[in-house]
Amino acid sequence: MSTKNVSLKAIAAQMNVSINTVSHAIRDMDDVSEALKLKIRKKAIEMGYMPNHVAQHLKRDEKPVVAILVDSFTNLYFNTFSNELTKLLYERKEFDFMILYAGQLKCEVIKQCVLLRVDLVVTHLEPDAETLEFAKLNNIQMVFVGSSHFFNDVDTVAIDNQMGCSLAARYLLNFHECKKFLYAGVNYFLSEERFNIFRSELQSLSDDCDVRYFNSDEEDVRALYTCISQGYRNVFFYNDRLAYELLGKLDSIAINIRRIYPDLHLVGFDGLCECVAGLKQISTIKIDFPEFAEKTYEVIKKRLEQPSAPMQQIVLKVTLHQRRKD
């Protein structure tokens, strides 16, 4: 993108609309239709438009500002990652940084980042096309972390879900006395992705696998107990936090599932179960969080130093950690 600023008047002339309409579209005001906003923003990007706050920020030669966007302070997975990343940002002092809370990644969040002079956003929240376009218009870079879902215009540091789910499937298939498998998930695209990989891997390795999906957002925990009592002794959880929650709910209704069924084999995902007393006895697909943060830092640094460099798509390997001797 050109650093020579383009006026609103020039954009208005190209689009055959008023300067006021261009200004309102760029500021995401409600009196301009979404379709026209998108057309005006695309034209502004093509012409090399740079909002005044961005131009002033570049002239002052300040440290770039990185915002880490979180959706919940109880999200153990992302908070573990963000803690590792903030340590690196603090120790190396190349960039200023802040933590921002948002339930979803929408244009309103980008507006807040504009006000805070943010240069780059790190998030695991999936952006929509409109938000990506709005961020680009305001010269805010983005790094998407965690999922193996890639975006054409966003740097991505992903966890190898294919490898992780394959490891879980192969591990659980070792217990030949049981060919019934249960996947415990939630209503989230990453959970569905892991289930599909897990089921596909099992079916490719064995012809007689029975794979059931337990949706914890829609089914009562007693249904989980029923499944296990019906012979689904191999359970793969979407993540360690879900394993903790579901096993805790079973305990709360006086069902110590691991004592009733000693042949139960449980696998989580993330490698965070070692931090929780109740989960130390289950296996998990472990993410190397220090490496995760280091690779993300490298992506941040390259993007801020070379804004026009090709998009980076990095996939991090995972390992199986067996928590007990089965």
What tens digit of pLDDT does each residue of 127-160 get? Answer: 888 888 888 888 889 999 987 666 777 899 999 9
Determine contact, residues 156/143, Cβ cutoff 8 Å.
yes
Residue 1 has pLDDT above 60, yes or no: no
Q: Residue 212: what pLDDT?
A: 94
Same domain, 150 and 295: yes
Same domain? For 201 and 92 the reply is no
pLDDT digits (tens, 9 = 90+) for 150-190: 677 789 999 999 999 999 999 998 876 678 999 999 998 88
Count Cβ atoms within 10 A of the Cβ of residue 277 and give its class: 0-12 exposed, 13-18 middle, 19 or more buried: exposed
When computed from its CA atoms, the radius of gyration of the chain, rounded to whole angstroms, is: 24
User: Quick one: average pLDDT of 55-66?
Assistant: 66
Residue 274 is part of a domain; what is its CATH number? Answer: 3.40.50.2300
322 located within any domain = no
User: Any idea how long the chain is?
Assistant: 326
pLDDT of 42 reads 72
One domain, residues 177 and 228: yes
Q: Do residues 297 and 279 share a domain?
A: no
pTM for the whole thing? 0.78
Residue 92 lies in a domain: yes
Residue 1 lies in a domain: no
Report how far Cα 110 is from the mean position of its chain's Cα atoms: 17
Give the C-alpha separation, 143 to 155, whole Å: 5
- 199 domain residue, yes or no: yes
74 and 179 assigned to the same domain: no
223 inside domain: yes
325 domain residue, yes or no: no
Nearest to 111 by CA among 53, 169, 72: 53
166 and 277 part of one domain: yes
In a domain, 2, yes or no: no
Tally the domains of the chain. Answer: 3
pLDDT for 189-217, tens place per residue?
889 999 999 999 999 988 888 999 999 99
d(C-alpha 187, C-alpha 204), whole Å: 25
**What is the reported pLDDT for 59?**
45
165 and 154 inside one domain = no
pLDDT at 185: 95
Domain hosting residue 234, numbered range: 161-286
Mean of pLDDT values over 86-105 = 90
Q: Which of 21-25, 26-30, 134-138 has the lowest mean pLDDT?
A: 26-30
pLDDT at 51: 62
Q: In terms of domains, do 126 and 37 share one?
A: no
Q: Mind listing the pLDDT tens digit for each residue in 240-286?
A: 989 988 988 888 876 777 778 788 889 999 988 666 655 667 899 99
Task: Give Cα separations from 306 to 75, 141, 298 (angstroms).
Answer: 32, 11, 12
Please say if the pLDDT value at position 326 is more than 80: no
Non-local (6+) Cβ contacts of 290 within 8 A are 84
Identify residue 190 by its one-letter amino acid code. Answer: L
Question: 65 lies in a domain?
Answer: yes
Task: Give yes or no: residues 18 and 121 share one domain.
Answer: no
For residues 195 and 308, state if they share a domain: no
Whether 224 and 253 share a structural domain: yes
Residues 63, 126, single domain; the answer is: yes
